[in-house]
Amino acid sequence: AEKLDLNLIRKDFPILDQQVNGSPLVYFDNAATTQKPQVVIDALNRYYTQDNANIHRGLHTLAERATTGYELTRTKLKDFLHAPSTDQIIFTSGTTAGINLVAQTYGRANFTAGDVILVSNLEHHSNIVPWQMIAQETGAEVQVIPVDELGVLDMVAYQSLLTDRVKLVAVNHVSNAIGTINPIKQMIDWAHRVGAKVLIDGAQSVAHFDIDVQALDLDFFVFSAHKLFGPTGVGVLYGKRELLETMPPYQGGGEMIKEVSFSGTTYNELPYKFEAGTPNIADVYAFGFALDYLASLPQNAVWEQEKALLDYATEQLSQIDGLRIVGQAHEKIAVVSFVIDGVHPQDIGVLLDKFGVAIRTGHHCAQPLMARYDLVGTCRASFAFYNTKEEIDLFVKALKRCLMMLS
């Protein structure tokens, strides 16, 4: 199978070539945010030096160019997600904003007392708190799909929780904290059988899978550009047309209207009904170049590289005395969460940074999951295709030195 030329690839990510505290940077925090290829950085620079103007309204050349660039990304996303139309691609500020939008519009219009919103114990706070907020407001109830010792969702429990009271199932495709890949096709099919809609939080899966929203029969799908080698402050909400059409607007203002008068206001068509105010034009424009960059890579080689990194890191870390990997699902993305007997994750994170190694420590915005495993937090190393086995060797060597210093 085709392999990635990592020397060439890493030249596309200038940020990776730097020293941190006297050692080469080893960036293993890609689940928090990915680094950006030069083409994205160049696109941002080009937008602000040549094309910047407000969009959709101005009739002058720069406004036309800015509008074309912004809408071109929406078209690229339609293709990327295999969506039926661009109308169903809504730009938000991120995954969190997308989930809040659905909770505050679809939720408010459809949830009533006694309804159930089903989430999982693996969820990120962004896919728990918005549902708690709308549940409080509507009298609906949030119930939780349990997870087992390995970090795998309990599908038997899921089936029994799927009563006809369930109006929405909101789960992540992949856990950010421990890397578990959930069987979302099956989960969606089962939910639809009881008449429930499904929102899939794809923040940690879009970078690792080809997502076909029609084949998955997805009702809602949300993710952030910054997890997909694009800028921060840009998110995508995909929704089924018949759902988006019936949902009231999320925020009021310019762009999302047709006619405003003090005797009444009419709203714009999809997708603009959900895009009030001047959007994050430059970052949406630059995001399109991240999508082009990814499309230029041999996708299987990318996934092979990530799998090789996961397997090698797991093998190397498993040899360290007292180290326990948290989350050992058979189906995992390239994330290794671990704890070490007698050592606080925070201390490891701080010390690793002294050796130039960037990982994330703590609860990873998944406190209910940490509580499930009776942990204050974990150390999380998360890899991208531009990381190397040599970096894993540096990481393991540094980790062993940290443990010597802490012993």
Ligand X SMILES: Cc1ncc(COP(=O)(O)O)c(CN[C@@H](CS)C(=O)O)c1O
Identify the DSSP state of 105: I
Q: How many residues bind ligand X (CB under 6 A)?
A: 18
With CA atoms as reference, report the closest residue to 386 among 36, 105, 122: 36
402 is catalytic: no
Say whether residue 32 binds ligand X (CB under 6 A).
yes
Say whether residue 363 binds ligand X (CB under 6 A).
no
Comparison of 167 and 226: residue with beta carbon closer to ligand X = 226
With CA atoms as reference, report the closest residue to 329 among 150, 148, 147: 150
Q: From the list 73, 104, 121, 172, which residue makes contact with ligand X (rule: CB under 6 A)?
A: 172
Comparison of 207 and 351: residue with beta carbon closer to ligand X = 207
With CA atoms as reference, report the closest residue to 116 among 136, 135, 99, 137: 135
Comparison of 174 and 281: residue with beta carbon closer to ligand X = 174
Which residue is catalytic, options 358, 365, 375, 376?
Answer: 365
Q: How far is the CB of 32 from ligand X (least distance, A)?
A: 3
The span from the CA of 287 to the CA of 144, in Å, is 34
Say whether residue 94 binds ligand X (CB under 6 A).
yes
Q: Residue 233 to residues 94, 178, 224, 246: CA-CA distances in angstroms?
A: 6, 25, 8, 27
Say whether residue 176 binds ligand X (CB under 6 A).
yes
Q: How far is the CB of 343 from ligand X (least distance, A)?
A: 21
Any residues with CB less than 8 A from the CB of 4 and at least 6 apart, and which?
297, 298, 301, 302, 305, 385
Cβ 351 vs Cβ 406: under 8 Å: yes
Comparison of 335 and 398: residue with beta carbon closer to ligand X = 335
Q: How far is the CB of 31 from ligand X (least distance, A)?
A: 5
- Judged by DSSP in three states, 380 sits in strand
Q: From the list 12, 87, 115, 201, which residue makes contact with ligand X (rule: CB under 6 A)?
A: 201
Say whether residue 360 binds ligand X (CB under 6 A).
yes
Other beta carbons within 10 angstroms of residue 309's beta carbon come to: 23
Q: From the list 81, 90, 203, 290, which residue makes contact with ligand X (rule: CB under 6 A)?
A: 203
Q: Of the listed pieces 101-109, 119-127, 141-149, 283-291, which binds ligand X according to CB under 6 A?
A: 119-127
- Judged by DSSP in three states, 280 sits in coil
- Taking each helix axis from N to C end, the angle separating 345-354 and 389-406, rounded to the nearest 10 degrees, works out to 120
The span from the CA of 40 to the CA of 285, in Å, is 9
Say whether residue 204 binds ligand X (CB under 6 A).
yes
Identify the DSSP state of 51: I
Say whether residue 224 binds ligand X (CB under 6 A).
yes
Identify the DSSP state of 328: -
Say whether residue 180 binds ligand X (CB under 6 A).
no
Q: How far is the CB of 92 from ligand X (least distance, A)?
A: 9
Q: Of the listed pieces 83-91, 94-102, 288-296, 298-306, which binds ligand X according to CB under 6 A?
A: 94-102
- Judged by DSSP in three states, 356 sits in coil
Q: How far is the CB of 79 from ligand X (least distance, A)?
A: 22
- Residues found near ligand X in the complex (CB under 6 A): 31-32, 94-96, 124, 126-127, 172, 176, 201, 203-204, 224, 226, 360, 364-365
**Catalytic residue set:** 365
